[in-house]
Structures are given as structure tokens and as C-alpha cells.
Chain A
């Protein structure tokens, strides 16, 4: 299992596409940082993506603002593309049948593929956070020493406090992508086309977003995959507001289990004819 995972990771990270996706994830926050630095016009407090109004006064918050920019759209699309490629991509390349007769167990392969997508999210989030931290520091500057960072509830956070809350927020962003990854891998076992699987996944996320804006669907809201995505801002309140973060975690776990099992049910006995 460990070596199968290694093999999958080698395949992922030796593929140019993976790095193109990460570069694209970086492109938008970088553009935002440059525009903010040049114009000095930030969205007003409470408007626009979270933290963006605060970054002009303190560039240290820029990684969080960047994730707020990337999370609602770009990161899920990346996960949908990679997850959708998991099985269908191997089928299209003609490599799936050779993996299965190697033999590699079908359940093992699914787990390895899912873990690989999660590792990608971890790497992508880490790269985005690291690069945007640098950009924030260089382009937007730091608050005067001793002033501390102002949290969302108006309290000041010392650098240590800020560091671990940021780490927690990054971890939560990874968790938010678990459900998307499972949905994408599931679709990837159903169709022979990786683009089809990615589009189906994006369709689910768009539907979720639309329903969130619809009061008539209020009963469904707590179960929608995108419902708690931006709850990581609650980690910067005083005291931390855990409720939505915990619910978000539960929802993602639910999607992971349900769609993971669905993927297994669909792939476990599937006739591989690609």
C-alpha cells in the first residue's frame, strides 16, 4: 500500500500538469497582491473576500486572504480535475488494465488515488500559503512592530497566536476539499472520461452554491458540501467560534465516507473494458 502510494505520488508530481495547476492557483492571489500594492484600494471591512480589507494594514494576513480568494473556486476546480482523472485518466491512457492485472487490488488503488489527491491539496495549500506570505511581506508590508495583528473581533493577536491559528486554518482548508476529492474520484469510476468526471464534480459544487443562496432550500443547507467552506475565518475570532468549523469537518467526513463507499461499490466489480 505504501509503495503503491509512492508510485501514485511520483506519477502526480512528475506530471507537468500538476505544477501548472499549482501555478494557476498562485496566479490570482499574486495579481490581487500586486493590484492592492499599486492602488492601495482595499475592499471595505466586511466586503469582498475575508481578510482582504485588513491586508493593506498588515501583509502578514495575506496568506489567509489568498486562501479566501482561491478556496471558493480555484482549489475545488483543481481537486475536481485531479480527482476526476484518478481512475478515468488511467482508463483513457490505457494504463488502468495494466495496473489491475499487475495485479493491484481495486480497493487499494482507490484509496491510493484518494490519498494522492489529498496530498496534492496539502502541497497546493502549503505552496500558496508560503508564496503569498512572501508576497504579503514584500508587497504589502508589515504592521509596525508591537502593534500586533488585529483579529476579526477587534482583539490583537500576537505572532505566535497568529501562527497556530493560521496553521489550523490551512488544515481546515484541506479538510474542506476531502468531500470534493471523494465526489470526483467517485465520478471517475463511473465514467471513462476524466473531463466528464471533473465537470460532474464541478456541477455538484455549483448546485451546492446555488442552493445555498435559496431560502427554500434552507433545510438542505447544513448538508451541502460548500456550506462551511469559509468557516476558517471563525478561527480568528476571540474566543474561537468552533461550531461551523466542527460542522464543516463532519459534513466533509460524511461526503468522504458516502462517496468513498460509492466509488468502491461502482469500481469493485466493474467490467474494465477501456
Chain B
């Protein structure tokens, strides 16, 4: 759905986006993560033809952008850096005028119907005839989402879609996006809210200072295959028993490479190591992102704890395909 190659944007001496190769596949809920100023929004703007790349190639929905924007953009719904609406007009009129402005506008009756539908979908129907001036930030955000959904897009590009919403609103929007995704819409979600991405996304890409430092299925990142977390009060003894298989250590817990957890457990128990907990290693997305970005930011790795095996989890992640 989205493929970019060497996508680069240079502003004077600054490379805001540097050789980014995105790969968003049909049916993905793709989480595009990055700190403020990391090049996230510039990338989104390039994908939508608002900003022209300095170099590199982009394909969106199978066609080259920005050359094919007239064919591509009608099938893309987007929310970029906050919603935009004319404050003196109602939410409904804003949607109506936006649809009418394009070449592929709906017929009058169908348009009114569709607008009613999307306003209900985003939960804005009670306020649809009030001027946007009177809307709260959350309501404006919902209106922006309604505008993105209006054309029943095949691809949704959403930049911080839950900005300004209360927890209940965030839940509603999350459910809405999951519903749309289940119905076949590919979602490209740019965010710095890791919890949001963790709950929604199937794949993530992490951009840091203009470079894409990570792009993988979320599940594999959170639960790397072949890594077992072994909790034991005797980490030292277990570490010397397992040798190079130990990938990392925390107080009271070892991370062990194992493709046969049952055998590992038997081995530990056989050697008399008391195992208090045993299972696949699962970590927070925050940790994944911090490590992916820290590799570049801080080339000197902190010393591992005393009882850790030589190989750290960080190296494990960076050497494995």
C-alpha cells in the first residue's frame, strides 16, 4: 500500500528525512513511531504530496507519488497534524464543502447520507449543525476523522488521531479503527503514544532523526521468538550452567535463548536450579523503541550487571535478522 525507497527531504543543511524505506502492506495497522521532530510528519506530508521529496521514490496504492496524486488521493483518507475546519460553518457544512471541492464528489443526496453516516461513526451526530467554533478540541478531532473517512478510503493515514480526546473517546476511536481495518482498510498510524500503537498496530516502524531504525511485525518485537524469561533466585548459578545461551540478565531473572523451552526447563530443574517462573519473554514497546533509537544516540553501551552473560539483549536484537 505504501512503499518508499530512499525517501529524503533536505531543508537547508538539515536532513529532516533521510533515506526512509517504508513498507506498509495491505491490511496492516502500521504504527509509525517517532519523537517530535524525528521526521514523522514530514514523511506523512510527502506521502500525501504536500511536501515534495528532495530525492527517493514513493508508491502509494500501487502508483507513484506525487505524480499520480489525482488518482491516488481520492482513495486515501488523512488526518495530518490536527484537524482543519472553517470555524464559522457547521461540521456538516464543512464536510459537505470538502466533498464538493473534489472532482469525484458524490451526488447531493448520497453525500448528505454519507455525511450523516460518518458523523454517527465518529460520534459527532448530536453537534453536526453547530458551528465548529463551538467545538471542543476532541470534537474537532472527531470531525477531522469524519472528513478522512468520508470517501471510504482504502488507506487511512492518521497523524496522532486521538489527540485531545478523553480516555473514553480514545477507546471509541480505537474500536472504530479496528472495525475499519477488519473491513479491509489499511491504516497508517503515526504517533508518539506507544500505548496506543501497542494496542492497535500489527507492524511498526520507528523513525529517529530522519532515519528508519526499525520496521517489523509488532508481535515479534514484543515477544522475540526463541527467548525465554527464567526467574530464579540463583541467577549466577543458572548463568554459569547455560553459558552463552544467556542473552541478558535482570535482578532475579535471566533471558535465555531457547527454541525448546521444555528441554531448557528440564535442564535447569535437573541441575537443581530453583525456577520460580518460566515463559516467553515479553517486553514493552517503549523498551523496544528506546533500544532502537538508543543504538544511534549512545554508541557506548552501559555495563551489563555483574552476573550477566557476555551477550546483551541489545546485541541479540541487532544481529538477528
Q: Enumerate chain A interface residues (CB-CB to B < 8 A).
A: 3-4, 6-7, 10-11, 14-16, 93-105, 269, 271-273
Contact = CB atoms under 8 A, between A and B. Distances in A.
Is chain B's binding surface mostly helix, strand, loop or mixed? loop
Contacts of B78: 98, 101
Interface stretch (B46-54, B195-203, B232-240): B46-54
Rank and list the top 9 A-B pairs by shortest CB-CB distance, nearest first. Answer: A94-B84, A103-B73, A95-B84, A272-B50, A271-B51, A102-B102, A7-B101, A101-B48, A7-B97
B45 interface: yes
B49 A7 contact: no
Interface in B142-171: 147
A15 B86 CA distance: 9
A247 to B, nearest CB: 38
Nearest to B76: A101
B89 A97 contact: no
B6 to A, nearest CB: 19
A214 B53 CA distance: 48
Interface in B72-123: 73-74, 76, 78, 80-89, 93, 97-98, 100-102, 105
A95 B83 CA distance: 8
Given A7-B100, A15-B88, 13 more contacts: A7-B101, A14-B88, A15-B86, A93-B85, A94-B85, A97-B81, A99-B98, A101-B76, A101-B80, A102-B73, A102-B74, A104-B101, A269-B52
B45 A272 contact: yes
B241 interface: no
15 contacts: A3-B101, A6-B100, A7-B101, A11-B86, A93-B86, A97-B48, A97-B50, A98-B84, A101-B78, A102-B102, A103-B69, A103-B70, A105-B70, A271-B45, A272-B45
Contact of B87 (A93, A96, A100): A93
| Contact count band on B | 20 to 34
Contacts, number: 79
Interface of B: 45, 48-52, 69-70, 73-74, 76, 78, 80-89, 93, 97-98, 100-102, 105, 147
Nearest to A269: B52
A99 B52 CA distance: 17
A273 B51 contact: yes
Contact of A3 (B84, B87, B105): B105
A102 B87 contact: no
Residue picked from A16, A93, A269, most chain B C-beta under 10 Å: A93
Nearest to A103: B73
Contacts of A4: 100-101
B180 to A, nearest CB: 18
Contacts of B52: 269, 271
B101 A102 contact: yes
Contacts of A269: 52
A17 to B, nearest CB: 8
Nearest to B144: A98
